[in-house]
Amino acid sequence: MLYREAGQFKTTYAQDMAMFPIRQDRIAFILLLALAFLVVPLLAKLQIWPFGGEYLLRAILIPFLILSLAAIGVNILVGYCGQISLGSGAFMAVGAYSAYKFGTGINIPLAWLGTAIVIPPLPVLPSILLGGLMAAFAGVLFGVPSLRIKGLYLAVATLAAQFFFDWVFLRVPWFTNYSSSGSVNAPALNFFGLTMNSPIERYFICLSFVTVFALLAKNLVRGNIGRQWMAIRDMDIAAELMGIRPLYAKLTAFAVSSFIVGVAGALWAFVYLGSWEPLAFSIDRSFQLLFMVIIGGLGSILGAFLGAAFILVLPILLDQVPHALGIPISVETVSLLVFIITGSLICYLLIVEPHGFARLWSTAKEKLRLWPYPY
Amino acid sequence: MRSPEVNDVMLRVERVSLAFGGVKALTDVSFDIRKGEIRAIIGPNGAGKTSMLNVINGFYHPNRGSITFKGKSRPRMRPYEAARGGIARTFQNVALFKGMSALDNIMAGRTLKMRYGLLWQALRVGPARTEEIEHRQRVEEIIDFLEIEAIRKVPVARLPYGLQKRVELGRALAMEPDLLLLDEPMAGMNLEEKEDMSRFIVEVNDYYGTTIALIEHDMAVVMDLSNRVVVLDHGVKIADGTPDEVKTNQAVIDAYLGVAH
């Protein structure tokens, strides 16, 4: 009875084309934002359960937000444009290491010209955004094969990006500023003169990035470019005969997707890890992001969040269950059990709802709109 | 037969040949389509009708011959260039964007008319928002015209076949084409749906002045709708003229009924 759009008349197309055309959705969204921006930090500040001891913020919410952002990026490419990519981890790495280089300053001597490319160390925010931009370049470069190959073959081609960048960041010491261990430290998190180091402040950084990029991404996918992406995904020949250029549509999808993934990578390195090595962006990360998108729902911004929550948070929760119930099981058994349970849940979910959580959610909403008189 | 309003030639196909390896799909086919007319292309199965449409909108490139559209001859062109030039198309097997709603499908037909770039769209403020709403208005006019208001938000995969065909016509109309190619718009429809579709085709031709090239197997429809008919058989043009001329042409009768050897 609560979720009912009866009586909400739309008199302009602008109203009908709003991001949340139904009033209850708008209210829910504002409440969610208020919860994320006000209530969570307040509870964390006051150390009220479940925010005692920073664990929830530092180990769950921050990585959840960053991976959601990355999943949004992957979803634009895989879910909206239908180009399967296994290189997301690499694009995160490009974002992270580029942001690191911009943050620590770049000096490329060009001896034969008698000059050098010198960029002084940039503040954190431009570094992160430029990191995203570099990832976008890398994405476009490795997206070029998509013009000729599709599906699984493209997935294999994007795998090349993964292995290439893994190798580059491991073997080319320039990227790590010649650090002897291969591990690098992020510059201080200084935004507009404010140093943001506590978990609450870091949470704020991530939340702001995710909110802004999620809204921008939502606007893109419901606009003209989003329709072009989906047209290419659903029927590329018809799309081309309607004047959609596959080159433009596919490469913009790669660029936008990699940009968002790159920003997420920079956040992952700067805000979550603090210091990292190339292993943080291995192929496991690519798979993890792809699974998030598939389970959350291909072609849905909301799905990226749901998928990230499922893949990231479920194992952590399952980990706590035996401990909370007081069952004496060894830590190794628990971690194996977590693998088994997560895996079977994924199988079960994909059989029951191959379109992921986002579809479950929209089906539920459709049912609710008619409830209790579905006829 | 409807009275022709003979105008200048919009599209001229000259001695076009197309072969896939050893298979000759089209051999030396020449005909023209005049501005404002409904031109039917008929022929038995495998006659090369769809290949002809594919050549016209740039999906296939002819091995020989030339195509002159709006006075400009073109040896090779990509399908999106044809679309840009004002050629729209529907397909024999419905080729809608299955994951999108009927509205979004038709909106996708407006792609070429939309100008604001990626950043504007991401922000969706000011001119980009206005543009989106303006195009929505144009699309709603098409939705009204095709009488599909009730299904505009339904994903097209859920629609019955007849309505999918109608949405596909809407998507082609959204491009505001000069030349509209319809590949069997009435295949698999019942009588009522055929009548609706015929009405839409005639009205598009009358109101928007769109030139239409149409492939159809239903001879009653072809004879009623079209101004002129071109008949293909085994990739060769065997007849060209008004429906009445074609109806009585011996070669056409032989092609359709077979000849005793």
The CATH number that applies at residue A237 is: 1.10.3470
Count: domains in chain A = 1
A256 lies in some domain: yes
The B-side interface with A (CB below 8 A) comprises 57, 59, 78-80, 82-84, 88-89, 91, 95-100, 104, 107-112, 114, 116, 118, 121-124, 128-129, 132-133, 136-137, 140, 171-172, 175
Query: From the CB of residue A122, how many other CB atoms can be counted at a distance below 10 Å?
Result: 19
Question: Is any Cβ of chain B less than 8 angstroms from the Cβ of A252?
Answer: yes
Q: What is the ipTM of this complex?
A: 0.90
Query: From the CB of residue B105, how many other CB atoms can be counted at a distance below 10 Å?
Result: 30
**pTM, full prediction:** 0.91
Mutate: best of B80, B106, B178, partner A, most A CBs <10 A: B80
pLDDT at B7: 60
B68 and B182 assigned to the same domain: yes
pLDDT at A312: 87
The tokens for A63 are 């990585």
Calculate helix-pair angle for A151-171, A88-104, nearest 10 degrees.
30
d(CA B225, CA A174): 72
CA distance A49 to chain B (A): 38
A23 lies in some domain: no
B159 and B227 assigned to the same domain: no
pLDDT at A1: 55
B73 and B113 assigned to the same domain: no
Please report, in tens digits, the pLDDT of each residue of chain A (375 residues total): 577 777 788 888 888 888 888 888 899 999 999 999 999 888 888 888 777 778 888 888 999 999 999 999 999 999 999 999 999 999 999 999 999 999 998 888 877 777 888 888 999 999 999 999 999 999 999 999 888 888 889 998 899 999 999 999 998 989 988 888 888 998 888 888 888 888 899 999 999 999 999 999 999 999 999 999 999 999 998 999 888 999 999 999 999 999 999 999 999 999 999 999 888 999 999 999 999 999 999 999 999 999 999 988 888 888 777 777 877 778 888 888 888 888 888 888 888 888 889 998 888 888 888 887 777
B64 and B186 assigned to the same domain: yes
CA distance B135 to chain A (A): 10
For the sheet containing B23-34, what is the strand order?
B23-34, B9-20, B64-69, B72-74
| Residues in contact with B63: Cβ distance below 8 Å, sequence separation at least 6, in sequence order | B17, B18, B19
B81 and B158 assigned to the same domain: no
B233 lies in some domain: yes
B70 and B191 assigned to the same domain: yes
Q: Of all helices (H) and strands (E), which one includes residue A200?
A: helix A199-221
The tokens for A226 are 């989003």
A9 lies in some domain: no
Q: What is the DSSP string of A92-115?
A: HHHHHHHHHHHHH-EEEEEGGGTE
| Dihedral sign (CA A44, A49, A52, A54) | negative
| Contact assignment for A252 to B175 by CB distance below 8 Å | no
pLDDT at A349: 83
pLDDT at B134: 94
| Contact assignment for A242 to B111 by CB distance below 8 Å | yes
Q: What is the DSSP string of chain B?
A: -PPP----EEEEEEEEEEEETTEEEEEEEEEEEETT-EEEEE-STTSSHHHHHHHHTTSS--SEEEEEETTEEES---HHHHHHHTEEE--SS----TTSBHHHHHHHTTGGG----HHHHHHT-HHHHHHHHHHHHHHHHHHHHHT-GGGTTSBGGGS-HHHHHHHHHHHHHHT--SEEEEESTTTT--HHHHHHHHHHHHHIIIII--EEEEE-S-HHHHHHH-SEEEEEETTEEEEEE-HHHHHH-HHHHHHHH----
Looking at B133, B150, B176, the residue that finishes a domain is: B176
B29 and B82 assigned to the same domain: yes
pLDDT at B179: 94
A19 lies in some domain: no
Looking at B124, B151, B176, the residue that finishes a domain is: B176
B123 lies in some domain: yes
Count: domains in chain B = 2
Q: By the 8 A CB rule, do B223 and B217 touch?
A: no
B1 and B81 assigned to the same domain: yes
The one-character DSSP state at A19 is S
A82 lies in some domain: yes
B92 lies in some domain: no
Distances from the Cα of A109 to the Cα of A114, A116, A119, angstroms:
8, 4, 11
pLDDT at B74: 76
The CATH number that applies at residue B48 is: 3.40.50.300
Q: Of all helices (H) and strands (E), which one includes residue A191?
A: strand A190-191
B3 and B79 assigned to the same domain: yes
Mutate: best of A81, A221, A235, A241, partner B, most B CBs <10 A: A241
B251 lies in some domain: yes
The one-character DSSP state at A144 is G
| Contact assignment for A227 to B122 by CB distance below 8 Å | no
- For residue A134, the enclosing domain spans 49-370
- A334 CB-side CA count, 13 A: 17
B2 and B82 assigned to the same domain: yes
Looking at B155, B176, B197, the residue that finishes a domain is: B176
- A-chain residue closest to B172, CA distance: A242
pLDDT at B182: 95
Residue A100's closest CA among A268, A283, A257?
A268
The segments of chain B whose pLDDT lies below 50 read 1
A213 lies in some domain: yes
d(CA A307, CA A70): 11
CA distance B252 to chain A (A): 32
pLDDT at B3: 52
pLDDT at B30: 93
d(CA B69, CA B11): 4
A40 lies in some domain: no
| Contact assignment for B99 to A230 by CB distance below 8 Å | yes
B1 and B78 assigned to the same domain: yes
CA angle A92-A93-A95, nearest 5°? 65
Type of residue found at A115: T
DSSP-based three-state secondary structure for A35: helix
Q: By the 8 A CB rule, do A267 and A93 touch?
A: no
B115 and B126 assigned to the same domain: yes
**pLDDT per position as a tens digit, A310-322:** 988 888 888 777 7
B201 lies in some domain: yes
- For residue B42, the enclosing domain spans 1-86+177-261
A235 lies in some domain: yes
Q: Of the candidates A225, A238, A244, which has its C-beta nearest B118's C-beta?
A: A225
